[in-house]
Chain A
Amino acid sequence: MRLTQLMRPAFALAAAAVVAVGFGVPPAKAAPKKGGVMTFVVPDEPPSWDGHRETTFALIHPFAPFYSLLIKVNPENPSSPTDFVCDLCTEMPKPADGGKTYTFKLRQGVKFHDGTPLTAHDVVASFKKIISPPKGVTSARVAYFVMVDSVSAPDNHTVVFKLKYPSGAFIPALATPYNFIYSKAKLDADIRWYEKNVMGSGPFKFVAREAGAFVKGERNKDFYVKDRPYLDGFEAIFSSKQALRVQAIRGDRAAIEFRGFPPKSRDDLVKALGKDITVQESPWNCVLLFTPNSKKKPFDDVRVRRALTLAVDRWGGSKHLSQIAIVKPVGGVSYPDHPLAPKKAELEQIAGFWPDINKSRAEAKRLLKEAGQENLKFTLINRAIDQPYTIVGTWLIDQWRQIGVTVDQKMDPTGPFYAKLRSSDFDVTMDFNCQSVINPLLDIGKFLSADKGNESYGGYTDRTLDKMFDDMNRTGDEAEQKKLMLAFEKRVLDEQAHSFVTLWWNRIIPHRSYVKGWKVSPSHYLNQDLANVWLDK
């Protein structure tokens, strides 16, 4: 993470880029100023307004400021994958009952925007809707809470979660930014009320929304955190074209876009605006994968699959691709900066991450020859999205060319792309895993056997892998989790070569320098309630 005041353009782009990515010194802390309306651009628009139902970041950016959460990622330290703090609760609880009971005490005097008090019953009703929605109601995060046995409110200010087994995945799942706390009264009257209406207890109150155009919020004067929020309001403007979003920041029609821009846009803005632009960067909890179809010949042969990953120079790719695409960190299946992720030395033992790429490619050629696939040809299907899909797809083709493999790339719009994945109509596909709160114990569910129903498209069944996942999620012992995670990484990426990581994404947020108090996090879903944001104008 870097928070960087950039130099005047006279020092040229190169100097600015160095400062931005390497030697940034955070500016001295100034006293926050109250007032002002911040305008930001959002690349997409959510289908409904119900956080429990939707999965898109487009819901978080304009709607998260209206809601409270039980706990959240620490806004002062959002880059930490393990730093969680209370939002509605008063203190992070210590697990009891051998790690199976969590008791949260709630703040007193919290009110919804309509003036009604927020109690533990509202929290329970919200989590029941998320964990076990009634028939006909969709919740996108049921699977996050498989470990939860019950949630109850013994009194108005206490919430108790009882787990079926101790799990390290529970607290991160609880901090998921979509877990908006809704009013029980509203849910009782109409459980789908929140799909088309807004009424929370967050730092901002809903003012207006125009379909396809904007969402507007104003300061919640009764917000439970003293002196927050600083802003009088915000305006989220939907804008689907990236070029326009960049120009909107340049022309000061918007102060920031929270998803992220490619390196070229960052450089253009730095060149055009100099000290008026600040760049924050962070590794991103999103990763591009490529997955062979194990049901299809010759990809049913582990030697062929292994050859494909051995051909890819991730260390070199990180260096060069990061200059043109939103990818950079090298890592395995778990988020690279997480304590459970393999260290560099451990990673270098896994196929595809060997430090000597020539040795790796020689092994790839040997495996292909052994499998009788020296002249392998196949089609890579990819999403027709420039950043970073097309760029990384094209790079992969070149990597495979170097072991004598010929690949055609077929780009599909999102709909047809997923249709092909679900019907296993592909040789090798690009895929991605993008999550909000860094929770490797659940995030790696993507790599389980196909029949586990978790968007694993390789078509393989691997019960050993599934058992490792279950064991990891059922132990509270971090050393055991780490050991199992390393074994899981080796099995997915190397021994069975089911699916492969290319590079992790790199989040680049250039914003107007007058925007203060917002810190970049490793996910575009996190730290978006805007309570701490202020404008230095």
Chain B
Amino acid sequence: MYQYTLKRMLLMIPTLLGAGILVFILMRLIPGDICVLRMAGGSGYVDPKAIANCHAELGLDRSPVMQFLDFIWGFARFDFGNSMWTGRPIVEEISLRFELSLQIAIMATLTAILLAIPLGTISAVKQNTWIDYLVRGFSIAGIAMPSFWLGILIILGLLITTKSVFGTPWMPPIKYVPIWVDPLYNLSMTIFPALATGYRYSAVATRMTRSALLEVLREDYVRTARAKGLVQQVIIRRHALKNALLPVVTIIGIEFAFLMGGLVVTEQVFNLNGLGKLFVASVSNHDYAMTQALVMLVVAIFIFTNFVVDIVYAWLDPRIRYK
């Protein structure tokens, strides 16, 4: 297991390097210039000397090879440098948002797990009954509905309902306060995006749980268990579900990693100052340094999540051994 862990960790190096090369090239292929955007974004007059000065200040007047070597060398030392847009340390800018993104990702994942596993199990056990149809309808709706759209509906629903019930419209706060500062305020802001995202996420996991469980329930060992007279509940909980969960865990792992940087529109809908919003801003501002750092962070999160998923596999299925 140790060997396996070490091997996986070493494999991270070429993966990160590949991602680094890719994002470095792609960012420079996008037409546009951070200095022009910054100084001429309002279409006002900007002295070309000021733009040249800005290029020199940001190191953009150096050759791309030198810029790339600088980026990789900085990354190897965990020194991401400063944002080209704000001039502030990238680590500081990311850490501010990381906390919120992590909270939303955890809350959405919990929502998804709490919805998906019971619903998927019931749906499989009650296959082709009205309960199954209801659950399938619920999960298909979740897949079909983009979470940002659901988010907009939630906000509008809250505004309209509270206005008609209490006479004053209410919506979730738009400024983040950490959970340890004011738990109630924090939850009133984060619960709704977590529900909107968790619902879509749960829909995929519900369908996966259902189909995996249906497959397992047709296995010989389940028939044997039934023949031995084991009650249905024990068969499901102790024997079938554990095996059926393998693909579900994969889905949950991938989705969790995605949530850390991919909640672009949902973050905007709820005004969450998370990593997704920062990602979009840095790409549209041509902030190469910030985009590169964010891509490397998300790649690292994906690699780490996959690693955790592999470990969970071994726990769920003792037959799996890593050498």
A contact set with B: CB distance below 8 Å: 41, 45, 47-48, 54-57, 135-136, 138-140, 142-143, 195-196, 210-214, 235, 237-241, 243-244, 247-248, 250-254, 272, 413-420, 422, 431-435, 445-446, 453-455
Contacts and interface: CB of A to CB of B under 8 A. Distances in A.
B279 to A, nearest CB: 11
Which of B47, B93, B173, B174 has the most CB atoms of chain A within a 10 A radius of its CB? B174
A143 B40 CA distance: 13
Contacts of B285: 47
Nearest to A412: B31
B80 interface: no
A195 B87 contact: yes
Interface of B: 30-33, 36-48, 50, 53-54, 57, 85-88, 92-93, 96-97, 152, 155-156, 158-159, 163, 168-171, 173-176, 268-271, 273, 277-278, 281, 284-286
A252 B168 contact: yes
Contact of B43 (A139, A453, A455): A455
B47 A419 contact: no
A272 B169 contact: yes
B43 A212 contact: no
A251 B169 contact: yes
B54 A138 contact: yes
A212 B38 contact: no
A244 B88 contact: no
A235 B50 CA distance: 32
A413 B278 CA distance: 17
A143 B45 contact: yes
A54 B37 CA distance: 11
A46 B39 CA distance: 11
B171 A210 contact: no
29 contacts: A47-B86, A48-B87, A55-B38, A55-B40, A55-B41, A55-B46, A57-B42, A138-B39, A140-B50, A142-B50, A143-B47, A211-B86, A212-B96, A212-B273, A213-B96, A214-B175, A244-B174, A244-B269, A250-B171, A251-B170, A272-B159, A414-B37, A414-B41, A414-B284, A415-B31, A416-B31, A453-B45, A453-B47, A454-B45
Given A139-B50, A254-B174, 17 more contacts: A47-B85, A136-B53, A140-B46, A142-B47, A142-B50, A196-B88, A213-B96, A237-B174, A241-B268, A244-B269, A247-B156, A250-B159, A250-B169, A413-B284, A415-B33, A418-B32, A419-B33
A422 B31 CA distance: 11
Contact of B40 (A45, A239, A250, A455): A455
Contact of B30 (A41, A248, A416): A416
B42 A434 contact: yes
B44 A140 contact: yes
Nearest to A416: B31
Nearest to A242: B268
A414 B87 CA distance: 21
Contacts of A422: 36
A487 B45 CA distance: 23
A239 B152 contact: no
B176 to A, nearest CB: 6
A415 B286 contact: yes
B171 A253 contact: yes
Contacts, number: 153
Contacts of B171: 247-248, 250-251, 253
Contacts of B39: 55, 138, 140
A197 to B, nearest CB: 12
B176 A419 contact: no
A416 B32 contact: yes
B168 A56 contact: no
B86 to A, nearest CB: 6
Contact of B57 (A57, A136, A250): A136
B31 A419 contact: yes
A420 B30 CA distance: 12
Contacts of B277: 212, 240
B43 A432 contact: yes
Contacts of A196: 87-88
Contacts of A253: 171, 173-174
Contacts of A210: 96, 273
Given A211-B96, A453-B47, A244 B30 contact: no
Contacts of A414: 32, 37, 41, 284
Contacts of A455: 40, 43-46
Contacts of A55: 38-42, 44, 46
Contacts of B175: 213-214, 235, 237
A252 B169 contact: yes
A213 B273 contact: yes
Contacts of B50: 138-140, 142
B194 to A, nearest CB: 17
B271 A431 contact: no
B87 A47 contact: yes
Nearest to A435: B44
Contact of B271 (A56, A244, A250): A244
- Most chain A beta-carbon contacts within 10 A, residue among B46, B152, B270, B286: B46
Contacts of B31: 415-416, 419-420
B41 to A, nearest CB: 6
A240 B46 CA distance: 25
Contacts of B159: 247, 250-251, 272
A433 B36 contact: no
A414 B42 CA distance: 11
Contact of A212 (B30, B87, B97, B156): B97
Nearest to B42: A55
A122 to B, nearest CB: 24
Q: Most chain-B Cβ atoms within 10 A of its Cβ — which of A55, A214, A415, A433?
A: A415
A431 B268 contact: no
B273 A241 contact: no
B45 A445 contact: yes
A48 B32 contact: no
A48 B272 CA distance: 21
Give the most central of A54, A211, A419, A432: most B CB within 10 Å: A211
A524 to B, nearest CB: 10
Given A138-B39, A247-B171, A415 B269 contact: no
B37 A453 contact: no
Contact of A415 (B45, B92, B284): B284
